[in-house]
Structure 1
Amino acid sequence: MTPANELIFLALGGSGEIGMNVNLYGSQGKWLMVDCGLSFSDPELPGIEITLPDLDFIEERRRDLVGIVITHGHEDHIGAIPYLAADLKVPIYATRFTAGLIANKLEEEGLSGQVPVRIVERGEPIDLAPFQVTYVPLAHSIPEGNGLLIETPYGKVFHTGDWKIDRTPVLGNPTSADMMTRIGDEGVLALVCDSTNAFSLEESGSEADVIEGLTKSIGEAPGRVLITTFASNVARLDTIARVAEATGRRLALAGRSIERNVKVAKAAGYLGDFPEVVRYDEAMRLPKRELLILATGGQGEPRAALGRIASGQHELKLGEGDTVIFSSRQIPGNEVAVGRIMNQLSDLGVITVTDRQVHVHVSGHPGRPELKQMYDWIRPQLLVPVHGEARHLRAQARFGLECGIPQAFFQKDGDIVRLAPGEPKKLGETRIGKLVLDGDVILPAGGSTMNERRKLAYQGIVMVSIALGKNNALLGQPVVRAVGLPVEADRDDFLGDAVDSAARAVERGADEERLRENVRLAVRRCATAWTGKKPIVEVLVMRA
Structure 2
Amino acid sequence: MTPDENDLWFLPLGGTGEIGMNLNLYGHDGRWLMVDCGVTFPRPGRIAADGTVHHRGEPPVQMADPAFIADRRDQLAGLIITHAHEDHIGAVPYLWPLLQCPIYTSRFTAEILRRKLAEFDLLHRVPIHVVNVGDRRAIGSFEVEWLALTHSIPDPNALMIRTSAGNIFHSGDWKLDDHPLVGHGYSRNTFTDLAKEGVDAMVCDSTNATVEGHSTSESALYNGLLEAIKPATGRVVVTCFGSNIARLHTLAMVARATGRYMGLIGRSLINMSNAAKASGLWDTADSLINASHFGYLPREEMLAVATGSQGEPRTALRRLAAGNHPDFELEAGDRVIFSARAIPGNEEAIEALIARLRAMGVSVITAEDANLPIHASGHPAQEELELMYQWVRPAIAIPVHGEATHMETHAGIAKANGVPRAMVGRNGDLFMIRPVPGIRRQITETGRLGWEKQALVRVE
TM-score w.r.t. length of structure 2? 0.94
Out of 196, 216, 221, which is 2:207 matched to?
A: 196
Q: Are 2:246 and 1:235 equivalent residues in the alignment?
A: yes
Q: Are 2:96 and 1:85 equivalent residues in the alignment?
A: yes
Contact 1:75 1:232 survives alignment (8 Å) = no
The amino acid that maps onto 1:440 is Q
1:369 equivalent in structure 2: 383
Deviations along 1:381-410, one digit per CA (max 9) or x if unpaired, are 000001111111111011111121100000
Out of 358, 363, 367, which is 1:351 matched to?
A: 363
Out of 311, 334, 342, which is 2:346 matched to?
A: 334
Contact 1:86 1:114 survives alignment (8 Å) = no
SS at match of 1:220: coil
Contact 2:338 2:366 survives alignment (8 Å) = yes
Partners of 1:360 and 1:382 in 2: CA distance: 36
The amino acid that maps onto 2:369 is Q
**Structure with the bigger percentage of helix:** 1
The CA deviation at 1:423 is 2.5
Deviations along 1:132-176, one digit per CA (max 9) or x if unpaired, are 101000011111111000001221111000111111111123310
Partners of 1:40 and 1:343 in 2: CA distance: 23
Out of 68, 71, 77, which is 1:66 matched to?
A: 77
SS at match of 2:273: helix
Partners of 1:439 and 1:306 in 2: CA distance: 26
1:46 equivalent in structure 2: 56
Greater displacement, 353-362 / 419-428: 419-428
> Where does the alignment leave 5 or more consecutive residues of structure 1 unmatched?
447-544
Partners of 1:9 and 1:73 in 2: CA distance: 22
The CA deviation at 1:50 is 2.5
Deviations along 1:336-370, one digit per CA (max 9) or x if unpaired, are 11122112212211111111012110100001110
1:252 equivalent in structure 2: 263
The amino acid that maps onto 2:346 is N
1:206-355 matched pairs, under 5 angstroms: 206-273=217-284, 275-315=286-326, 316-355=328-367
Partners of 1:350 and 1:436 in 2: CA distance: 37
Partners of 1:429 and 1:303 in 2: CA distance: 40
Q: Are 2:190 and 1:179 equivalent residues in the alignment?
A: yes
Task: Decide which structure has the larger Cα Rg and report it.
Answer: 1
SS at match of 2:132: coil
The amino acid that maps onto 1:2 is T
1:527-538 matched pairs, under 5 angstroms: none
Partners of 2:129 and 2:446 in 1: CA distance: 28
Distance 1:302-1:28 versus aligned 2 partners, 3 A rule = same
Q: Are 2:159 and 1:155 equivalent residues in the alignment?
A: no
1:440 equivalent in structure 2: 454
RMSD: 1.3
Greater displacement, 339-348 / 253-262: 339-348
TM-score w.r.t. length of structure 1? 0.80
Partners of 1:427 and 1:237 in 2: CA distance: 44
2:431 equivalent in structure 1: 417
> Where does the alignment leave 5 or more consecutive residues of structure 2 unmatched?
45-53
The amino acid that maps onto 2:85 is H
- Aligned-pair identity in percent equals 45
Deviations along 1:93-143, one digit per CA (max 9) or x if unpaired, are 001111111011111222111211110122121101211101000011111
Deviations along 1:277-313, one digit per CA (max 9) or x if unpaired, are 3334421221111111111111111111111111112
Partners of 1:213 and 1:294 in 2: CA distance: 16
1:395-414 matched pairs, under 5 angstroms: 395-414=409-428
Partners of 2:239 and 2:61 in 1: CA distance: 19
2:87 equivalent in structure 1: 76
Partners of 1:423 and 1:278 in 2: CA distance: 56
The CA deviation at 1:439 is 4.6
Contact 1:24 1:34 survives alignment (8 Å) = yes
Partners of 2:455 and 2:236 in 1: CA distance: 37
The amino acid that maps onto 2:390 is D
Partners of 1:144 and 1:61 in 2: CA distance: 31
1:360 equivalent in structure 2: 374
Partners of 1:363 and 1:439 in 2: CA distance: 35
Contact 2:261 2:303 survives alignment (8 Å) = yes
The amino acid that maps onto 2:380 is P
The CA deviation at 1:13 is 0.8
Partners of 1:291 and 1:108 in 2: CA distance: 32
The amino acid that maps onto 2:332 is E
Out of 382, 385, 394, which is 2:399 matched to?
A: 385
Matched residue count:
446
Structure number with greater CO (CA < 8 Å, separation at least 6) is 2
The amino acid that maps onto 1:349 is G
1:91-110 matched pairs, under 5 angstroms: 91-110=102-121
Greater displacement, 380-389 / 171-180: 171-180
1:57 equivalent in structure 2: 68
Partners of 1:398 and 1:241 in 2: CA distance: 41
Contact 1:301 1:337 survives alignment (8 Å) = yes
Contact 2:155 2:184 survives alignment (8 Å) = no
Contact 2:431 2:437 survives alignment (8 Å) = no
1:26 equivalent in structure 2: 27
